[in-house]
Amino acid sequence: MKTLAVINQKGGVGKTTTVINLSAQLAHEGKRVLVIDLDPQANLTVVMTGGQYEFEHSITDVFESSKKCPMQQAIMSAQSNGEAIANLCICPTDIRLSRVIEQSLTKVHRERILLKQLEAIANDFDIVILDCPPNLSLTSVN
């Protein structure tokens, strides 16, 4: 599984747009793609879930307690016009991610939370694309 991080410390440079278009094209070509929204603004989540903003599980829950909520529970099919997009999944986020990341600064191995979760799903996807926030936070370090 390959992992790509779309990252820039400045906002408004097209990170999320790049992730949307790249992931859609790769899925269209038959690759099994997972996008992970690491930006608490959740713009990728809103676009790729058809406007949803509340989820049973999200990447926020994974960072809060990966033992209680492993990444597999937070992954869902990406949506377009109410229908699942073939080969394309998303791990959504929400505004709570900012608070959870701030609280995670004291955790042991906090820089490896995402790495360990990606190892657990390595055989499920060909490519994982990370939509990073416009800052150098713990999510970006992960």
pLDDT digits (tens, 9 = 90+) for 9-18: 878 899 999 9
pLDDT digits (tens, 9 = 90+) for 74-93: 999 999 988 999 999 999 99
pLDDT digits (tens, 9 = 90+) for 39-67: 999 999 999 998 887 899 999 999 888 78
Closest residue by Cα to residue 128 from 73, 76, 94, 90: 90
| CA atoms within 13 A of residue 56's CA, in its CB half-sphere | 9
Strand 127-131 relative to strand 2-6, pairing: parallel
Rounded to 5°, the CA angle 135-137-140 comes to 85
User: What is the second-level CATH architecture of the domain 2-135?
Assistant: 3-Layer(aba) Sandwich (3.40)
